[in-house]
Each structure stands twice: as C-alpha cells, then as structure tokens.
Amino acid sequence: PAMTRENNCLNAAKACNLNDTCKKYRSAYISPCTSRVSSAEVCNKRKCHKALRQFFDKVPPKHSYGMLFCSCPPSDQSACSERRRQTIVPVCSYDEKQKPNCLELQASCKTNYICRSRLADFFANCQPEPRSLSGCLKENYADCLLAYSGLIGTILTPNYLRTPKISVSPFCDCSSSGNNKDECDKFTEFFAENTCLRNAIQAFGNGTDVGVWQPMPPP
Amino acid sequence: IAVTTRGCLLKEVHLNVTDLGLGYRTKEELIFRYCSGPCVEAETNYDKILNNLTHNRKLDKEAPSRTCCRPVAFDDDLSFLDDDVVYHTLKKHSARRCACV
C-alpha cells in the first residue's frame, strides 16, 4: 500500500510524450480530434478517425496499449478512469447527436471494407469461452487486444462506459430494435459483457501477460 | 543563411509541462530541446563590421543583432490532457535542428 496511489493512465501518457514516435502520432490525432471546423461541428470526424487508426498502426503496443488499456483501481471513477476514457477523444471520435441502433450501425460497418474486416477480427479473436482458463476461445490476449484496438477509428469505435467494472461499447443501443431485440442484445453483450476481452484488458493493465508483448526475434 | 558550427548544439531537458510557464495545469511531461552555444566561428564580414561600428559609436544607440544560435527546424507538436480534462496541443515549442543565423 503506497502512500500516493499511482495513476497508471497518467504514467502511460508521460511515457508516450517522452517517446518521439508516440508523441508524434498522439498529437497527430489529438489535433484533428480537437479542432472545431464549423459552428455546427466540433471536429472533422473522418480526419480524427483516420489519425486514430494511424496511431494504433504506427505506435508500438507498449505505448499505444499503455494508454488505452491502463489499469485503474475499481474505486476510481475520476482521475485515472476519466483519462483512460479520454484517450480516443470521445467528444469527436465517439459521441453523436443521436444514438443509433446497434444493428443499424453494424449494417453500415459492413458496407465499409476496413470496418467489416476489423469487426470480423474482433468477433473471431475476442470470442469468450467460459470453460477455458483465459476466458477466451482463442487463448491469445494479444490478438484480442489488437482486434479491439483495430475497431478504433471505424464507425464502430468502442469506448469505456462509466461503470465500476471494465465495460466497453460502441456509441449505439438496442432501443427500437423491434423483432431483432435478441440479436441486438447479443451484439452489445459481446462488447459490454465479454469476459475474454475484459480478462485481456486486465492482464495487460496488471502486466500479468507481459511475455506476449516482447517483439518477435528476427527469423 | 544558416551555418552549422561546432559550438551551436541541440540540447535537451526533461521537464514538467508546468515548468514551461505557459499557464497550463497538468501533470504531463515532455522533453524540451533547445539550441545553445557560441556562434563566433560563423561570423561574416557583416558581423565584424557591426562589431566595429558599435564599438566606434558610428551607429544608433540600439545595437543590431549579431549571429545567434537558433532553431532552424522545430520538433513535432506536443499534446497533453490538462487537469480539467481538456486537450491542448503545443506547436513550435521545441527545437529539432540548430544553426548560427
């Protein structure tokens, strides 16, 4: 029990700005995601999403995941968790004036090849399996985190919800689902109540899955 | 006209963003790079003449600037989140290359 509680998300941001690559690509998305383009729009969402995809493509996971998957004490609902929620600049990359239905959002994702393939990766690599020790069907947390972070910068961009437990969701809900309510609930639960994804995020945050993050030795 | 010399070098220091004195409230940090060192070797006849004229009081009271060790390129932008959960981006805040100009 340390005297001052460490803020892992703040420490990750400090580490990013001390690394030239991370610093460069971090400001390269924060700029478009925080620049107002007109009185009606807070930002150019397309540019913000593109720069976010670049950040996760170009910056080594040690730094990019360090900020996205930093661990916060469950009691914390402010300094650490709020910083983690702000990583993707949700006011631009996430929020919309109206919450669309999740199945409608999924349908428009499937019309875009980047979004379609990244959603398929996410379903494949973060599939929960209650009987496995890891909680995942494919027991590879790194692949699940890669697939999850790959959704950032698509119209299904997910973010942390303000809940005590780690829970994420794209910006949509299941109101007005009609006959497809069950299908919609299954879609949202894959994000919000996914033990495989939750375990993967926690393992990274606690540094209990460190071996996987080392760069591959040259062949 | 920029001339690189041995004396004028890029240096760096690890600081808190608050150390910059720009009025931000945040706990984030940065590497600040700056140009420092003498530029005597890079002086031209122009600089020698200025030096002599100033010395002989042939010019106005304000002495014109001599060769300075200055940034000729700036580092990438720096972004940080402040204590009120607002993002800020600093441009041209840190040097990338130095020269006597």
Chain B residues in contact with A20 (beta carbon < 8 A): 76
Nearest to A57 by CA among A87, A33, A21, A7: A21
Q: Give the orientation angle of helix A61-68 with respect to helix A141-150, to 10 degrees.
A: 70
C-beta atoms of A86 and B81 within 8 A = yes
The string of pLDDT tens digits covering residues A140-199 is: 999 999 999 999 999 999 999 998 889 999 999 999 889 999 999 999 999 999 999 999
Among all residues of chain A, which has the CA nearest to that of B83? A79
Residue recorded with tokens 């600093």: B90
Q: Report how far residue A204's alpha carbon sits from residue A193's, in angstroms, rounded to the nearest whole number.
A: 18
Distance from CA of B33 to the nearest CA of A (A): 12
Contact B79 A10 (CB under 8 A): no
First to last CA, chain A: 43
DSSP β-ladder status, B69-74 and B29-36:
unpaired
Contact B38, B53 (CB under 8 A): no
* Whole-complex ipTM: 0.88
Query: Which amino acid is residue A39, in one-letter code?
Result: S
Distance from CA of A83 to the nearest CA of B (A): 7
Query: Helices (H) and strands (E) in chain B — how many of each?
Result: 1, 6
Count of all residues that appear for chain A in the document: 219
Confirm if A31 and A44 have CB atoms less than 8 A apart.
no
Each residue's pLDDT tens digit, B41-98: 778 899 888 888 888 888 877 777 888 999 999 999 999 999 999 999 999 999 999 9
Instruction: Look up the pTM and report it.
Output: 0.89
Residues of chain B found within 8 Å of residue A58, distances taken between Cβ atoms: none
CB contact under 8 A, B79 and A89: no
